[in-house]
Amino acid sequence: MPPDRPRKRSRKHQPLGLEILHEDRDIIVVSKAAGLLTIGTGRDGGRTAHSALSDYVRKGNPKSRERVFIVHRLDRDTSGVLVFARSEEAKETLQQHWKSAEKTYLAFVEGHPDPAEDTITSYLVENDARRVYSTNDPSQGKLSHTRYKVLKTVGERALLEISLITGRKNQIRVHLADKGWPIVGDSKYGQKIRHNKRPAL
């Protein structure tokens, strides 16, 4: 049987806020813009990457049986690549191997991290105000590891390559702020004066 070829659709069918990078019968890979939730919760309304892609595969037909399944998530203010599955089987297969996948980010931070390469570890917990913070109490939070490496410095700032060993909500933002190197533009976790419209992540 010939290999499954990527599907092509015209630009007018592209989902808003997403760029289709790859599409076949098992997965859809998209580039998500900052400001768009991956999927909504009971407290979040409005358009999400999941809802936009669901409309895309159903071609506007709400009765269509076409579906997409969440494999992983990106924070609302983070831009980057998302992988969606087109079946329960594909979703389960991807998630079974997801921990072994290397997840890399770029972040522009305030300050010059020292040492230039290290791993940040803490237990992360979310409070009722939906703010994530670090704790030393294992019974309160989830163990989280963030590896970073300084790629270059620009004035009083630095560009970091981030590798997630674990994937918690707001993990990168909290860990970098904990060390005194908040992400540029991140007013929620550390930077008092917001130079950018969103975190540079």
Q: What span, in angstroms and rounded, lies between the C-alpha atoms of 68 and 66?
A: 7
The residue behind tokens 């975190």 is 199
Alpha carbon distances (Å) from 32 to 45, 63, 95, 162: 18, 26, 19, 18
Whether 128 is catalytic = no
DSSP for 30-76, written as a single string: EEEPTT-BSS--TT--S-BHHHHHHHHHHTT-TT-----EE-----T
Alpha carbon distances (Å) from 150 to 25, 110, 163, 171: 39, 12, 12, 18
Instruction: Using the Cα atoms of residue 106, residue 77, residue 142 and residue 102 in order, give the sign of their dihedral.
Output: negative
Q: Exactly one of 4, 26, 44, 75 is catalytic; which is it?
A: 75
Burial of 96 (0-12, 13-18, 19+ CB in 10 A): exposed
Active centre residues (catalytic): 75
